Structure 1
Amino acid sequence: MIKKSTSALLFLLFITCKVHAQTEQPESLKHYLSLTNSFLQDGGKWIRQNKDMIPGEINSASYYALEFYRGINTNTVQLRLKNYLPLSSEWKIIGELILSWNAKKQKVVLYGVGSDGVIITGESQLTAVNELQLVSSSTNAEGKTEVSKEVFRFKDGKIEVSDTGDKGTIMTFIRMEQPTGNIIFMSTRDGNFEIYSMDIKGENLKNLSCNKAMDYAFSYTPDKRLVFYTNRDGNDDIYVMEADGKKVTNLTNHPAADRIPCVSPDGKQVLFLSDREDKNGKIYSMDIDGTHLKKLTNNSYFEDAPTWSYDGKKIVFSRELRDLKDTSRNEAVNGEIFIMDADGKNEMQLTDRPGFDGGAQISPDGKRIVFYGKSEKAKYDIFLMDIDGKNLMNLTEDDMEDYSPSWSPDGKWVACTRGDSKNYDVWLINLETKIKTRLTTQPKRDESPFWQK
């Protein structure tokens, strides 16, 4: 029987020894690993997938991630083994292990202790090109030892694991690609809502707005100027901040409330909401310098969160389909997703569901839309649908509330706000595996992530 921590670790030994067959003997394990795929040097992660798993049914599979660190000397590399638990939507550390290059044996050996007290040791033996046999043993806290022998074969970018008996393939390792870019988000961690940036690992945090006023929803120009709305002059207006953070300019400077800006892909225009002509809030556009104001929608409904498509030809937004002048009804709002041309023409309704659908964004390839809306459990989840509103899919069907999705530049990930009435944090969702990874853990509110290239 392959132990969880042993089997997840064995994959690393395989791909290092796979390369060893085609190269000279390494002088150190650091050099040894540098001969493998470069993602190992960058904290790359792989996932383990049960071979009988049906795609999409993540509750039937176990997922593991390996994170790599510099070892205690040049001949060692440390790694942390994590287990993904679908029910809690979290990664849990289940062991830390050490790999060492044994110059005398000319082998990679391993040693580790799992969170359950199991001690794991082993060493590799290359049996053929792209094939490795590894003998390992695990000893539990009661002193019971179990020896296992596995064969690893590298084929078509995947690693198949089989035992030396007749069970055939036990499991398959597949690479889980890592997202790139930075995440910009809002947080109350310094007392009031400010705009922050962090890297894709949730590290290197920086306060971008640094003001006593409330700073909200934001967007970026291609030259990295920050466009956001704030009440720092006593009224909600749209502002632009230079990339160095030194100069801030009020673009709207109007007594009405101007909110939720979104910069066009070419950086020349800004969409935003304004109640300057009525209290329902309508969609406007203006040039990036605040000139050439244009009203794009004109009706008696409330509208929300307009965003551009990546080619700048379409706009998606939410619209409350109950006339807000009608106060005779008291049911929940009925907001639906709409799409229109960039000039405000050719509107089309995409959703027709109970509750409020909002935060819509078109994917980088222009084929899909992600948004948040009410689920069958009467809570908010993140949904995915085709650009024409077909093939609706729930991405976050669990007990948490989900809002404010944002596409990664490559369209393979979605950042979003997840939490409950007590706290909200920024999470990432891998669209291939549906695995959700938590980036922030503050007791304050972290929300409305925006994926910056």
Structure 2
Amino acid sequence: MKRVHLLPGILIIMAFVFVFIVSGCGDNGANSSPEVYTVAFYSDRDGNTEIYIINTDGTNETRLTNNSTDDKFPVFSPDGSQVAFESNRDGNGEIYIMNIDGSAQTNLSNTAADEYLRGFSPDGSKILITRNISGTDFDTFIIDGTDEIVLSNSTSVDISGVFSPDGSKVAFQSSRDGDVEIFIVDADGSNETQLTYNTFVEGNCVFSPDGSRIAFYSNRDGNNEIYIMDADGSDQTRLTDNSGDDYAPVFSPDGSRIAFYSNRDGNNEIYTMDADGSDQTRLTNNSASDRYPLFSPDGLKIFFRSDRDGNAEIYMMDVDGSHQKNITNNSADDLGFNILN
């Protein structure tokens, strides 16, 4: 895992498209210890971007893809047996899936359009993607390698979707009314509903673990702040209030805390707060940029990306900010990480 009042014009919309697309979880590396997790990421350490996995104790680092093109943004399936990712090995960006050991790499989408991975359905049977139909026309689809469901079909930018925890709905962002708003739709493509209405930008939407609420950022008050609302769009509440910019909210597994990153103190750092906005706590403190927090599945750790060593590396810390350590450590950039459930 970068955004102020929206100005008119297609160049501005496309700038936000870029941010959203490039902005955004034992055997074969699994371990029983709660202190050891398996992380998938992509790295350009071998000259182009490839998919890797590593245990957080430094063991079992494995390169899963190996070709002359770019493979990016790995996401574990809910059962941990497979990894989905983006690849341009066929000449355009497409969605692939492979076993967790790198075998059986399969193109799931196989179209002429560029496609961007959003995530698995909670049951692991389907994958949510964004497809660039043409120019500034981006739509949201659900695919399974055989069939696909069209969730949005406008001539605008519909991007950055996320499944609800029960898989019944998908929230996404759209520029169809001239700015960027949050919409929700049933997973069969029916009952599309607009949740936010203003002339600014709303992004990074994420469901609470129980599916009842959606956290997001908005610049409706002049700078980017974290908001929360009920899943039907009601009770929209501002959680952060400062002169800096706050981005990328993520819920803890129990829904009680939200992690995010903010430049309120001069550069990007990781913060947490209660889900009602109270107890905002800075967890990282250095002159580099720390971004894209993600809770471990058990809620005991927070993973994040840091440039503190001069390049992008993946770090882990306790939820109170203690015991910060780098999981990856080399001269290349390690990006786009996801945590095995």
TM-score category of the 2 structures, normalised to the smaller one: 0.5 to 0.7
Return the TM-score normalized by structure 1.
0.50
Structure 1 residue 369 displacement after superposition: 0.3
Distance in 1, Cα, partners of 2:188 & 2:162: 14
What's the CA shift string for 1:20-66, capped at 9, x where partnerless?
A: xxxxxxxxxxxxxxxxxx99x9767799xxxxxxxxxxxxxxxxx9x
Distance 1:402 1:296 in 2: 30
State the Cα deviation string for residues 399-452 of structure 1 (Å, max 9, x = none): 4423222233221233333337985454444426443342586946622x4546
Instruction: Report the secondary structure of 1:239's partner residue.
Output: strand
Map of 2:261 onto structure 1? 372
Q: Deviations over 1:136-165 (max 9, x none)?
A: xxxxxxxxxxxxxxxxxxxxxxxxxxxxxx
Map of 1:318 onto structure 2: 217
- For residues 85 and 313 of structure 2, the distance between their equivalents in structure 1, rounded to whole angstroms, comes to 10
Q: Which residue of 1 aligns with 2:143?
A: 241
Matched-pair contact (CA < 8 Å) for 2:87–2:96? no
> 2:271 aligned with 1:383, yes or no?
yes
- The 8 Å contact of residues 209 and 254 in structure 2, kept in 1 or not, is answered as yes
1:403 alignment partner, one of 268, 280, 291: 291
Is 1:215–2:103 an aligned residue pair? no
- Asked if 1:270 corresponds to 2:270, the answer is no
Q: Answer yes or no: is 1:339 the counterpart of 2:234.
A: no
Report how many residues are paired: 271
C-alpha separation in 2, matches of 1:195 and 1:439: 25
Partner Cα separation in structure 2 for residue 208 and residue 401 of structure 1: 35
Question: Aligned AA for 1:343?
Answer: D
Give the root-mean-square deviation of aligned CA atoms: 4.0
Which stretches in structure 1 are left out of the alignment for 5+ residues? 1-37, 48-64, 66-89, 94-179, 324-333
Partner of 1:301: 200
What residue identity is the alignment partner of 2:217? S
Aligned to 1:394: 282
Which whole-Å CA distance do the structure 2 matches of 1:182 and 1:336 have between them?
A: 37
1:320 Cα deviation after fit: 0.2
Equivalent position SS for 2:170: strand
Distance 1:198 1:391 in 2: 41
Sort the Cα spacing of 1:222 and 1:187 in 2 relative to 1 into closer, same or farther, 3 A: closer
CA gap of 1:43–1:322, structure 2 versus 1, over 3 A, is closer
Shift of 1:291: 1.3
Number of the residue aligned with 1:259: 159
State how 1:194-209 maps to structure 2 within 5 Å.
204=102
The 5 Å alignment of 1:158-177 reads none
1:68-79 equivalent positions in 2, closer than 5 A: none
Partner-residue secondary structure (3-state), 1:236: strand
Paired amino acid for 1:341? D
1:161-202: CA deviation from partner (whole Å, max 9, x where unpaired): xxxxxxxxxxxxxxxxxxx95897877896976667899xx9
Give the 3-state SS of the residue equivalent to 1:289 in structure 2. Answer: coil
Between structure 1 and structure 2, the one with the greater Rg is: 1
Mean Cα displacement is larger for which, 180-189 or 367-376? 180-189
Q: Match of 2:70?
A: none
1:346 is paired with a residue whose SS is: coil
Distance apart, 1:215 and its partner CA: 3.5
CA–CA distance in structure 1, aligned partners of residues 231 and 197 of structure 2: 15
Aligned partner of 1:228 in structure 2 is 129
More strand by share: 1
Question: Where do residues 152-191 of structure 1 align in structure 2 (5 Å cutoff)?
Answer: none
Q: Normalising by structure 2, what TM-score?
A: 0.65
Partner Cα distance (1:335, 1:399) in 2: 21
Residue 302 of structure 2 aligns to a residue whose secondary structure is strand
Question: In structure 2, do the counterparts of structure 1 residues 251 and 46 end up closer, same or farther at CA, with 3 Å as the change threshold?
Answer: closer
Higher relative contact order (CA 8 A, sep 6+): 2
Contact 1:271/1:306 (8 A) holds in 2: yes
